[in-house]
Structure 1
Amino acid sequence: MISEPELVGEERYGAAELPGQRSGTEDVVTTEDAPAASRPSRPAWLWALGGAVVASALWAGGLYVYETRAPDLGGYRASADLCKDAELKAVSAVLGKREGEGYTWGNKHESVDDSGCSADMRPVGYEAPKDEDGVEMGSMPSVTVGYTLHKKTDPGPEFEGTVAARHNYFGATTKLTRIDDLGEHAYIVRDSDSSGITLEVLDGQAVLTMAAHSDWDVDSGEPLTDMAEIEPLLVEDMKALMLELTN
């Protein structure tokens, strides 16, 4: 049931009652009692835009940190003298004692450290043939070692392609074999005439090579040293070198 509206005098029926027209102090609303004016609400799209900007900034900051963070070198260090780090004890049993200290070289950069070693090996009882003037002819067996430490980028995606490219370049003159349980990836590249054999290893940020080459017969041009048993010896010396470079 709808009741009749309460009348406040006939002349005031239906008229809006303003604060100034009210009688009595108890009905006066002061500024202290008045509720604070509410802020205009922001459109939903503006809040969404702000969230997207914050998320984008956080993502960009995380990406920057990720890109500038140095990769894990797996304990590998730069080599001051690779000929000292690579003792070559195993291959010496077949190729002979190292002739002198060997020749070492290296370059250091903020993105990559590169070093190498080349050493002649003198087999037991080896005497190089000499010409009529007493000058030695021919060459002794040798070992070449290479070591590259990548400090900025990952060498992994290019490693197998680089090894395969070298193998394909020489074509039928080389034989490519994968070696298990050595680094992340390892390959042996053997010359078809058995005059040389190269071990190539990828281990994290480090790429290492160790190559052994036979001496040559001056008259026939044939290799003098049998390289058939060198492969496991190269693997043994490579493991020793990797251990030395991570200590």
Structure 2
Amino acid sequence: MISEPELVGEEPFATPQTPGAVSAPGTDGGGVTDDALASAGPRGPRRAWLWALGGAVAASAVWACGLYAFGNQDPDLGGYRATDDLCKAARLKHLQTALGTREGEGLPTRFEHATMDDAQCSVELKPTGYEPEVDEDGNEIVSLHDVHISYTLHKRTDPGPEFDGAVLARQRAWGTESESAAVTGIGERAHVARGQDGSTITLDVVDGQAELSIAVTGGWDHESGEPATDVSEVEGLLVQDMQDLMAALRS
């Protein structure tokens, strides 16, 4: 058993005396007497309370520092990476079986920032046996299926809470009437929107920090001004090409 430490000399909480100072009544000038100490009550609990307070303050400081450090950590990108050429990453092999082969390598663009990486790609699909229309002067009028792909990797903020609103706002901004529905089995959340005239279909997906979109626009008939192809029924192929794209961006 450990005994109380033996106090050497004067009581530690005694009032220090300075030259010329007048001693308090009931003292001999060397500190507080036994009677005065007894009337003041035990000091032990006060020391324990101070130690407890100090420990709580220290623990709070450690917790606050840990919370600050955690809050400033970069989010987990879930394996997604930036891409220099989104057109190469998006092979579109399933859409090509229905709408036609790719014309060229496409037009890729990329914007890089500390908070996000943004990539875009535009590709044309040419149906098998396609012949461009000719105007009255003999000039060819080319109207191919157009595919626009976008990919944004958010490196600071979570796109999830704003995803639904952003998709709806973009659809309204296009000024085209469309029917939108949720799609299951791909990413965290996904929406598909079809133009009522069958001329467009768009698949939007959010998956962790990645936000992706593939929009398909069908060609137009020069004489009637109507869509030459109904692309609204290629949702299944669109989903498969999106899944392939997401896998490529995580490899």
TM-score (norm 1): 0.80
Q: Specify which of 218, 242, 245 is matched with residue 238 of structure 1.
A: 242
Q: Specify which of 12, 20, 31 is matched with residue 39 of structure 1.
A: 12
Distance 1:131 1:90, change over 3 A: same
Contact 1:103 1:117 in 2 (8 A): yes
- Max Rg structure: 1
1:151 is aligned with what amino acid?
K
C-alpha separation in 1, matches of 2:137 and 2:117: 43
2:205 is aligned with what amino acid?
V
C-alpha separation in 2, matches of 1:168 and 1:44: 66
Distance 1:107 1:172, change over 3 A: closer
The answer for the alignment partner of 1:6 in structure 2 is none
Contact 1:102 1:120 in 2 (8 A): yes
Contact 2:89 2:245 in 1 (8 A): yes
Distance 1:118 1:171, change over 3 A: closer
Contact 1:119 1:144 in 2 (8 A): yes
C-alpha separation in 1, matches of 2:165 and 2:54: 46
1:136 is aligned with what amino acid?
E
Note the C-alpha offset of 1:43. 5.6
Note the C-alpha offset of 1:61. 0.6
Note the C-alpha offset of 1:171. 7.5
1:135 aligns with 2:135: no
Structure 2 residue ranges without an equivalent (≥5)? 1-5, 14-42
Q: Deviations over 1:18-68 (max 9, x none)?
A: xxxxxxxxxxxxxxxx84145335566644543343133112211121112
1:53-202 alignment, distance < 5 Å: 53-168=57-172, 173-202=177-206
Contact 1:144 1:211 in 2 (8 A): yes
C-alpha separation in 1, matches of 2:218 and 2:127: 11
State the SS of the aligned residue for 2:140: coil
Contact 1:196 1:211 in 2 (8 A): yes
The answer for the alignment partner of 1:206 in structure 2 is 210
Note the C-alpha offset of 1:192. 0.9
Structure 1 residue ranges without an equivalent (≥5)? 1-33
- Figure out how many residues of one structure are paired with residues of the other and give that number: 214
State the SS of the aligned residue for 1:69: coil
C-alpha separation in 2, matches of 1:66 and 1:138: 55
TM-score (norm 2): 0.78
Contact 1:118 1:143 in 2 (8 A): yes
1:50 aligns with 2:54: yes
Note the C-alpha offset of 1:210. 0.4
C-alpha separation in 1, matches of 2:195 and 2:99: 17
**Percent identity over paired residues:** 50
Contact 1:167 1:175 in 2 (8 A): no
Contact 2:89 2:249 in 1 (8 A): yes
State the SS of the aligned residue for 1:100: strand
Contact 2:200 2:232 in 1 (8 A): no
